[in-house]
Amino acid sequence: MKNWRMKDIVVMAALAVVFGIVYLLFLPVNVVMMGLIGPIGTDIIFGVWFLVSIVAAYIIQKPGVALVSETIAGVVEVLIGSSVGPIVILSAVVQGLGAEAAFALTRYRSYHVLVLMGAGIGAAITSFIWGYFRGGFVALDPSYVVLMLVVRIISGAVISGLIGKAISEALAKTGTLTSFPLGKTYRQRKAG
């Protein structure tokens, strides 16, 4: 964290706030889905949770960003007060670790779309393991549990990976990222 700039951190917090708002917009959808098709309904849009991690990592491109941004998002959830209390920070750390692992595997050299999707999948897996113990999935039908995992992985890959990439690149186009690696890559590509 020594080589992080102050603005890297405030930007992560600001992203966490925006995605916090987006998440609140999704909350009713979440409840309806849960009511219709059970806990798997939450898994369909679970990728929304990891968006902040993937977007921040893709924009800032420094080791640790995926983990820390997700953790910050957890803290912000606690500050917003509408959430599950301090435990959510721990859940966020677990998710962040999953996403961070994908970036670490490439030694932070590649932010290819497959890596971004991998980060979404990583977060899906770690969060699922965590949820398995916390949420007591043991009590559910094993085939249903497997289906939940598959749905969550797809959600992580598509919502956080693909949509996260699209959001970050749309942002780069607005010229707001000029002092971040993604903005610089975008500019070079445009110039070259």
The footprint of another protein (CB under 8 A) covers: 1, 4-7, 9-18, 20-22, 31, 34-35, 38-39, 68, 72, 75-76, 78-81, 83-87, 89-90, 133-136, 138-142, 144, 166-167, 170-171, 173-179, 184, 187
Q: What is the closest distance, in whole angstroms, from the C-beta atom of residue 141 to another protein in the complex?
A: 4
> What angle, 0 to 180 degrees and rounded to 10, lies between the N-to-C axes of helices 51-60 and 6-37?
150
d(CA 15, CA 51): 10
CB of 119 to another protein, least distance (A): 19
Output the smallest distance, CB 92 to another protein, in A: 12
Which of 181, 49, 58 is CA-nearest to residue 116? 58
Q: What is the DSSP letter of 83?
A: S
Q: What letter does residue 1 receive in the DSSP assignment?
A: -
Task: Indicate the residue among 106 and 145 with the shorter CB distance to another protein.
Answer: 145
State which residue, 75 or 104, has the beta carbon closest to another protein.
75
| Token pair belonging to 140 | 């559910």
